């Protein structure tokens, strides 16, 4: 059955910098307001019946930004993760981080372990934050772990490598693929986000900058989604 509410929404939050520039403010102000908006949209998505929400907070390519901006974003994420216990508890939200955590500062890695452990059994929205994430990097890490597990005998060396095996080695193991991908701020690219998982996903693009993507904008995206006739390959989803 095709669902009118997507089970899993993935969001490429774009346009924080342009939003701030349009107001004559520094880019970091845009990131601060963008981070606030993440909280708003998590709550709204949960209330709308969405079960999984994944946001692209920091890509493997984002390290190439000016170092002051990278530090400001990392500080925002650091602070967010610290206050996350309260938000998770209030919204009954399970928090997970995907991406190469080994490339993050140790205190951030520690906060991630803390919040993932704390919120593990919350059964409202599952909120996945993509941090130091790249879709190709995720696939490369998965393949290397498959090889290493085979060498160690943890994975049957004669068994066929199937789509299910690969999926189970991705950072998103156990999480259903996104039904809807939203990208804000007018760009219409995937930018290395969930390459494997977005194989059949509906894409929704809007020119609205991320800090302005409010509950009404989310509702517009959900309305558009519910109107689309979902097709898998040649057969109608049923």
Report which of 42, 20, 43 is spatially closest to residue 31, judged by C-alpha positions: 20
Piece in contact with ligand FPP (CB under 6 A), picked from 13-21, 134-142, 153-161, 171-179: 13-21
Q: Which of 14, 137, 171, 179 is catalytic?
A: 14
**List 62, 149, 177, 198, catalytic entry:** 62
Binding status of residue 181 toward ligand FPP by CB under 6 A: no
Residues 189-218, one symbol each (x = binds ligand FPP by CB under 6 A, - = not), give: ---------------------x--------
- Cα(29)–Cα(66) distance, integer angstroms: 15
Considering only residues 54 to 73 of the shown chain, the ones binding ligand FPP according to CB under 6 A are 55, 57-58, 73
105 noted as active-site residue: no
* Cα four-point dihedral sign 171, 42, 218, 17: negative
**35 is a contact residue toward ligand FPP (CB under 6 A):** yes
Q: Is 28 in the site for ligand FPP (CB under 6 A)?
A: no
Active site residue 62: yes
Residue 191 tokens, joined: 């930018």
Of 18 and 85, the one with the shorter C-beta distance to ligand FPP is: 18
Q: Minimal CB distance to ligand FPP: which residue?
A: 17
Among 8, 11, 34, 138, binds ligand FPP (CB under 6 A): 34
- The smaller minimum CB distance to ligand FPP, of residues 131 and 142, is found at 131
Question: According to the binding rule CB under 6 A, does residue 18 interact with ligand FPP?
Answer: yes
User: How many residues bind to ligand FPP according to rule CB under 6 A?
Assistant: 19
Contacts to ligand FPP from residues 82-141, by CB under 6 A: 129
Binding site for ligand FPP (CB under 6 A): 13-18, 31, 34-35, 38, 55, 57-58, 73, 76, 80, 129, 185, 210
């Amino acid at each position: 059955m095709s669902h009118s509410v997507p089970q899993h929404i993935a969001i490429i939050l774009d346009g924080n910098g342009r939003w701030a520039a349009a107001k004559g403010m520094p880019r970091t102000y845009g990131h601060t307001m963008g981070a606030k908006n993440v909280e708003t949209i998590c709550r709204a998505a949960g209330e709308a019946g969405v079960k999984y929400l994944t946001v692209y907070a920091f890509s493997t390519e984002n390290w190439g930004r000016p170092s002051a901006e990278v530090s400001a974003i990392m500080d925002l994420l650091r602070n967010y993760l610290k206050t996350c216990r309260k938000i998770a508890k209030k919204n009954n939200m399970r928090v997970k981080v995907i991406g190469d955590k080994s490339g993050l500062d140790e205190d951030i890695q520690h906060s991630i372990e803390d919040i993932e452990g704390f919120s593990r059994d919350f059964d409202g929205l599952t909120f996945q934050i993509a941090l130091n994430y790249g879709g190709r990097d995720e696939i490369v890490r998965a393949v290397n772990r498959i090889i290493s597990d085979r060498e160690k005998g943890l994975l049957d060396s004669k068994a066929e490598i199937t789509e299910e095996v690969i999926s189970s080695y991705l950072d998103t193991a156990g999480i259903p693929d996104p039904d809807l991908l939203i990208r804000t701020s007018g760009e219409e690219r995937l930018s290395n986000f969930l390459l494997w998982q977005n194989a059949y996903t509906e894409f929704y693009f809007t020119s609205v900058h991320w800090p302005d993507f409010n509950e009404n904008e989310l509702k517009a995206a959900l309305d558009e989604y519910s109107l689309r006739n979902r097709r898998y390959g040649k057969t109608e989803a049923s």
